[in-house]
Structure 1
Amino acid sequence: MNNSINSLENKLGIKFTNKALLITALTHSSYANQYKNVQFNERLEFLGDSVLQLTITEYLFSFFKDKSEGELTKLRALIVCESSLYEIAKKLDLGNYIRMSKGEELTGGRERPSLLADCVEAVIASIYLDKGIDTVKKFIINNFVDIIDKATNNQIILDYKTRLQEILQRQGDVTIKYDLVKYEGPPHRRKFYTAVLIENKIMGEGSGYSKKESEQSAAKKALLHLEGKNV
């Protein structure tokens, strides 16, 4: 575990004084259930969520003085959400460092968005407890700066299927259909491929580790197609 911790510390850009905090942040409850006296990361998630909310709130309040309370609240909701946390987790390759049960791993735990998002919050809490508020704020802003930029430029859409439907319905009644093209892989790690058809014409194709995720991916591709962007 020590080599893994050192590797992750390099990615985080932070050397922990109390490495046990980081190990706990990386420990899923399924792992703790297999061993006695092992702490897992749920309490750290609780703390990390608050630290993240405060940091992003303070940043938006300071740098977007022209925006109202309602606008700031909407921006924060776009930035502090499961999909953004999942993006950060993937960038840090957190899935490879999490301690989880074999059963959790076999059912796709290392790629599960909710599990990875929770782990990011726990890591944030571990940094806060080990290094203090200034260091964790710097870490958060450095890692969320691209997401903040996308959110403030209206480039983040949480529900691509709903957004696609809203845009197309401006033109009147339009038939939108999602077809499961294929799936592959073992039952515990199945990948789905979906095409979205608009008036029976394929406008986007996407994939994901659930049908819902693959449909959202296809809808996103369709939106980009409609906007004339490369996909």
Structure 2
Amino acid sequence: MSPAKRPRADVPQRPVGDLASILQQRSGAVVDEPLLSRALTHRSFAYENGGIPHNERQEFLGDAVLGLVVTDHLYDAHPDLPEGQLAKFRAAVVNSRALAKVARELELGGFLMLGRGETTTGGRDKDSILADTMEAVIGTVYLCGGLPAATKLVHDLMGDLIQQSALLGAGLDWKTSLQEITSTLALGVPSYQVEEDGPDHDKTFTARVMIAEEQLGSGVGRSKKAAEQQAAEAAWRELKARSDAAATGA
């Protein structure tokens, strides 16, 4: 019996030139195709093809460029926010899930070069691979067109997400975010009142958050922590709306 045929390393489903054209339209930079091909080369493919160059150096560069572009925007857009809050907003944008979402919108999976193992385990749609490759692509655009081109690309691809980062970033930890906004607005420290109901094996918790003697949010959850987080979210959104209205004179 002849040995089973081994699956070969995967090949791109679409030509790299198509992606180069898309990136040129979105960034204004003329993208070098060999450099872009390397950005699309996963280490698994490189290993199975004699150790050719892969995309991890460009990924490293792109991660730094992306962080700079997003940080620069948030620094200018939120002049009164402390470092901790800005870091949360940035984390809402610069993360694997967000980058993978953008990569899927670009249909980046169709351009990847993967090894056998990643091919057979669905590597073209793995968040980690897509996110890393997206950073490598940003790094490539930076190498080809400098910071202006990379900035234009990031804002084109992630502009809506950056604009929404205030809400998304706060959601990383609503209780901490609430404490930060109450500190900024000089409202004191939030306090929580929690009630529980039901038998030990099936309890329901109801939390209310008080700020400056005013109840600004409530929440219900299967744990005290979940109820408090929900109450903190409601209070944070209320204070954010009041703050925004005051800033615009509404």
The bucket for the TM-score relative to the shorter chain is 0.5 to 0.7
Describe the superposition over 1:107-159 as per-residue Cα deviations: whole angstroms up to 9, x where unpaired: 01111101110000000000000111111111111111111122223488569
- Pick from 86, 89, 104: which aligns with 1:72? 86
Counterpart residue number, 2:20: 9
With the length of structure 2 as denominator, give the TM-score of the two structures.
0.61
Output the amino acid matched with 1:133: L
**Structure-1 residue corresponding to 2:162:** 148
2:107 corresponds to = 93
1:23 and 2:34 are equivalent in the alignment: no
Tell me the residue number matched to 2:77. Answer: 63
The aligned length equals 171
The yes-or-no answer on 1:124 pairing with 2:135 is: no
In 1: Cα distance, 2:169 partner to 2:47 partner? 41
CA distance in 1 between counterparts of 2:169 and 2:85 reads 15
Task: State the distance in 1 between where 2:31 and 2:129 align.
Answer: 26
Instruction: For 2:195 and 2:148, locate their aligned partners in 1 and report how far apart those are by CA, in whole Å.
Output: 50
8 Å contact from structure 1 (residues 150, 156) kept in 2 = no
Relative distance call for 1:136 and 1:85 in structure 2 (3 A) is same
Helix, strand or coil: the match of 1:36?
A: coil
RMSD: 2.9
Moved >6 Å (runs of 4+)? none
Which one of the candidate residues 108, 111, 115 is aligned to 2:125?
A: 111
Does residue 52 in structure 1 map to residue 66 in structure 2?
A: yes
Deviation string 1:56-97 (CA, Å, 9 cap, x unpaired) is 111111111121111111111111111111111111111111
Asked which structure has the greater CA Rg, the reply is: 2
**Higher relative CO (CA 8 A, sep ≥ 6), structure 1 or 2?**
2
Distance in 2 (CA, whole Å) between partners of 1:77 and 1:53 is 9
For the residues of structure 2 that align with 1:44 and 1:83, how far apart are their CA atoms?
19
Percent of matched pairs sharing the same residue: 35
For structure 2, list consecutive stretches of 5 or more residues without a partner in the other structure: 1-11, 174-193, 204-220, 223-229, 235-250
- Work out the CA distance in 2 between the residues paired with 1:171 and 1:94: 49
1:133 aligns with 2:147: yes
Q: Distance in 2 between matches of 1:113 and 1:2?
A: 18
Is the Cα–Cα contact under 8 Å of residues 45 and 122 in structure 1 kept in the other structure? yes
Q: Return closer, same or farther for 1:106/1:16 CA change in 2, 3 Å cut-off.
A: farther
> What are structure 1's unaligned runs of at least 5 residues?
160-169, 177-197, 200-222
